[in-house]
Amino acid sequence: MSSHAPGTPARTYPPRPEAVYFYGTCLVDTFVPEAGMDAIALLEREGIRVIFPDNQTCCGQPAFTSGFPDEARQVVESQLGLFPGDYPIVVPSGSCGGMIRWHWEKVVGNDPALKARAAAIAARTFEFAEFLLHVVGFSRKDEGPATTVTLHTSCSARREMGTHLVGRELLARLGNVTLAHHDHESECCGFGGTFSLKHPDVSTAMVSDKVAALKATGASQLVTADCGCMLNITQRAAREDQDAGRSKPSLPGEHLATFLLRRTGGKQA
């Protein structure tokens, strides 16, 4: 199954490495650190040494997509030296992975040396689920009870990194999990980074539609590999629960890494 972005060459995947760099993303680090730790635990359980560069920050996507190229370039250039070894770079967010893979080389401008460094980093950057499927060959016994889940992938991650395809395939490898598809699967949840701040009314309408479509599947929970979308969707669902007087979450959500680790015996429920 191909997971490359439409219109781009199919990737050639390397053999399983002895080590990887882990680019945690600022959103995971700040709001959902357990997702990053669970992703690392999955990789280490597969015998892969994980290197976490201490000086990593934001991938530059908020500035880049908001029309501030100079600020985005400063962010990117400050991190080009974080990955000196020839190891893959694993990113637990498709949108951040897409930013590094497809846009860092553009952001740094016309400096040949900087473009070459950014291009070399892009070539060995992998979204977490993509890496787990195509490089690690993840295959673990599903130790959880039978359940039905629904999958959300961010619109940019879907376009640029094919995360809907790899997410579906990883979930299909869990024998007791049924994936329920929803009819708004390709639509944006309304987060869009700074979009949700600049256009809150439009964003709220979009995420409300997304929540309704996800709930309509009857799935017990949401699974996603993009924490920004997950926070937006689950917090909107929580607000609807509060307004309706419900004490139990109607749409709980987990990062794919947490879900996979828990289902395969690496994390207590």
- The per-residue pLDDT for range 13-30, each reduced to its tens digit, is 999 999 999 999 999 999
For 83-97, 98-112, 156-170, 192-206, which range has the lowest pLDDT when averaged over its residues? Answer: 192-206
The two three-digit tokens of residue 136, written as one number: 């690690």
State in words which class domain 140-263 has.
Answer: alpha beta
Q: What is the mean pLDDT of the chain?
A: 92
Does residue 56 carry a pLDDT above 50? yes
Other CB atoms closer than 10 Å to residue 76's CB: what's the count? 28
Is the Cβ–Cβ distance between 91 and 20 less than 8 Å?
no
Neighbours of 168 (CB within 10 A): 17
- Confidence label for 124 from pLDDT (cuts 50, 70 and 90): very high
* C-alpha–C-alpha distance, residues 169 and 176, integer Å: 14
Length of the chain: 269
Query: Contact 32/255 with Cβ under 8 angstroms?
Result: yes
Closest CA to 47 of 138, 112, 176, 128: 138
* pLDDT of 2 above 60: no
pLDDT of residue 194: 76
Domain regions of the chain by residue span: 19-135, 140-263
φ/ψ region of 193 (left if φ > 0, alpha if ψ in -120 to 50, else beta) reads left
Q: Which long-range contacts (CB under 8 A, 24 or more apart) does 214-220 make?
A: 214/150, 214/152, 214/182, 214/184, 214/251, 215/250, 215/251, 216/182, 216/183, 217/148, 217/150, 217/180, 217/181, 217/182, 218/148, 218/180, 219/148, 219/149, 219/150, 219/180, 220/147, 220/148, 220/149, 220/252
Answer positive or negative: Cα dihedral of 120, 40, 93, 151.
positive
Residue 3 has pLDDT above 60, yes or no: no
Whether 5 shows a pLDDT value over 60: the answer reads no
- pLDDT value at position 1? 43
